[in-house]
Amino acid sequence: MREILALDGNAAVAHAMRQINPDVVAAYPITPQTSTVQTFSEFVANGLVKTEFITVESEHSAMSACIGAAAAGARVMTATSSAGLAFMWETLYIAASYRLPIVMLDVNRALSGPINIHCDHSDTMGAREAGWIQIFSENAQESYDNFIQAVRIAEHPDVLLPVMVMHDGFITSHAMERVELLTDEEVRNFVGEYKPAFPTLLDVHNPITYGPLDFYDYYFEHKRQQVEGMAHAQEVILEVAREYEKLSGRKYGLFEAYRLEDAEVAIVVLSSTAGTTKAVVDKLRAQGKKVGLLKPRVFRPFPAKELADALRHLKAVAVMDRSISFGAMHNAGPLYLEVLSAQRIYGGSMPVVDYIFGLGGRDIVPAQIESVYDDLFRILETGQVERLVTYLGVRE
Amino acid sequence: MPKGTGWKDIPLGGLILEAGNSVEYKTGGWRAFRPVRDAEKCIHCLFCWIYCPDSSILVQDEKMVGFDLEHCKGCGVCAQVCPVKCITMTPETEFEKEK
Ligand code: SF4
Ligand code: SF4
């Protein structure tokens, strides 16, 4: 029977891991991810999974152990946050370039310094070029659902790329919510038995080499192959989502459009803040204001065309970024820059502005989101864009 | 896999699917100094064969017979360990002149 439990985001993902029952989990504790693998380690200790659980001395070692285990033919998972992800930097690229379908939870947390343990998206935004698929979750239910789907996406023969699933540090990771679990058997059947795509390191009858020297004569071709995996990922993500919807009744896409169709102005924002924004949209809609929301789910591969199509009819758009791309155009956020490029190629002539918010866990409250919609309506009235980038909630 | 194969036809992720093919990767072009042996002086002790890090000492019937110049990288270890100092590391430019 399916259970409905009160779980925080980290426990929800730990249950997804239990139901997937991976061969190997190698992890190192870091706030606010720690309770994910801690809860999972209890499942291991209680014999609920057959997973080989490797405690390592750092995140660099955690991802290295994951890479070794995946190359040896295991279904592999891990979890991290912030500085932990940064410490995996080198090995993130190795996992992606060896085409190992590792699945990882990253609980979004600010990067030091000054040192901070609370939510923003600077950790995974920094890793956006590493070759991993990136899926953001609004709440615990989405994180659970995304984590299960991630296994199928990563292992699909047309993709073969690692996937990181994100939810917001503390806001989602430590807040108790209603989470509907599939049954263990449903998850087991959905992910299926793992069949590695290549001969593995432990296959003594088919000896192979992983990670040889790859110079100017082949490296370029291998990078071109990685692009192909990424290019196929979008269709696979949708295919897996359709199948998951049939099973769970919960619908997923490349992004979620909320009251967007007949909207005049809209906000584009990731993760938990999208949940807060929905409440603001409902309030303003009740006052007759035509506002909407677009919440990207898949950030890598970025669904440029689909997103530009969904925004094209709007008269003004605000992107809200929970990180800064220092030194980029106007020091804007990475989500803003992607939305602008999508608009440049696929059309749309409305003004698009950026709001940097919530850095280092700074609260974002409904009144602030309402002020963003007010700003958008002011742009409509005056036809003037005063600022391209606004720091929402910083003290002057 | 023939040289110059395109991205669609090479194994994914830099995997090498067959064993023992590193011999096909010619590294002799990296060499700046070439080992040249004075065969008259050689006592066939095979120290060079033991020490060569690239398995580039050619041996037949327990006799040192020459160097595998497609793989020798010119490190000079053989010249260093040779007890009778019959190996001279010679600049590759000398052989360029010969051509
Ligand atoms: S120079 Fe170095 S690589 Fe070449 S034969 Fe001597 S020991 Fe081997
Ligand atoms: S070490 Fe010198 S003497 Fe001994 S086999 Fe080699 S070249 Fe000949």
> Using one digit for the tens of pLDDT, what is the confidence trace for A167-186?
999 999 999 999 999 999 99
Locate all alpha helices (DSSP H) within A82-139, ordered by sequence: 82-87, 89-97, 122-126
Nearest to A122 by CA among A137, A109, A133: A109
How many CB atoms neighbour CB A389 within 10 A? Answer: 17
* Residue B81, in any domain of the structure: yes
C-alpha dist (Å) from residue A88 to A7, A81, A226 = 28, 10, 19
Write the secondary structure of A358-394 as one string of H (helix), E (strand) and C (coil): CHHHCCCCHHHHHHHHHHHHHHHHHCCCCCCEEEECC
The CATH number of whichever domain residue B64 belongs to comes to: 3.30.70.20
Nearest to A136 by CA among A147, A151, A127: A147
> Using one digit for the tens of pLDDT, what is the confidence trace for A187-226?
999 999 999 998 899 888 999 999 998 999 899 999 999 9
* Residue B79, in any domain of the structure: yes
Residue B76: which pLDDT band, with cuts at 50, 70 and 90?
very high
- Distance between CA B2 and CA B81 in Å, rounded? 38
Minimum CA distance residue for ligand 1 atom 3: B72
Q: Identity (one letter) of the amino acid at A107?
A: V
Residue range of the domain that includes B64: 37-99
The strand ranges marked E within chain A are 4-8, 24-27, 52-55, 76-80, 103-108, 133-136, 163-168, 176-180, 255-258, 265-269, 291-296, 298-300, 316-321, 352-357, 389-392
Q: Is the model's pLDDT at B99 over the cut of 80?
A: no
**pTM (2 d.p.):** 0.92
Better pLDDT: A212 or A355? A355
Mean pLDDT of chain B: 94
- Domains in chain A (CATH in brackets) are 3-248 (3.40.50.970), 255-391 (3.40.50.920)
- Residue A277 in 3-state DSSP? helix
Residue of A97, A209, A222 with shortest CB distance to B16: A209
Q: Sign of torsion, CA A340 A344 A347 A351? A: positive
Name chain B contacts of A102, Cβ cutoff 8 Å. none
* Residue B76, in any domain of the structure: yes
Residue of A99, A207, A220 with shortest CB distance to B13: A99
The complex's ipTM works out to 0.86
Give the residue carrying structure tokens 């924004």: A277
- Distance between CA A237 and CA A230 in Å, rounded? 11
> Using one digit for the tens of pLDDT, what is the confidence trace for A32-67?
999 999 999 999 999 999 999 999 999 999 999 999
Ligand 1 centroid–CA A221 distance in Å is 32
* Residue B57, in any domain of the structure: yes
Are A198 and B16 a contacting pair at CB < 8 A?
Answer: no
* Residue B14, in any domain of the structure: no
* Residue B25, in any domain of the structure: no
Better pLDDT: A310 or B99? A310
Scanning B8-37 for CB atoms below 8 A from A yields 10-19
Scanning A190-209 for CB atoms below 8 A from B yields 197-199, 206-209
* Residue B28, in any domain of the structure: no
Are A209 and B6 a contacting pair at CB < 8 A?
Answer: no
* Residue B23, in any domain of the structure: no
How many CB atoms neighbour CB A344 within 10 A? Answer: 11
- Cβ atoms of A279 and A285 closer than 8 Å: no
Kindly state whether A100 is in contact with chain B, defined as any CB-CB distance less than 8 angstroms: yes
Question: How near does any CA of chain B get to the CA of A301, in Å?
Answer: 19
- Residue B14 in 3-state DSSP? helix
Scanning A132-191 for CB atoms below 8 A from B yields 160
Count of domains observed in chain B = 1
Question: How near does any CA of chain B get to the CA of A99, in Å?
Answer: 5
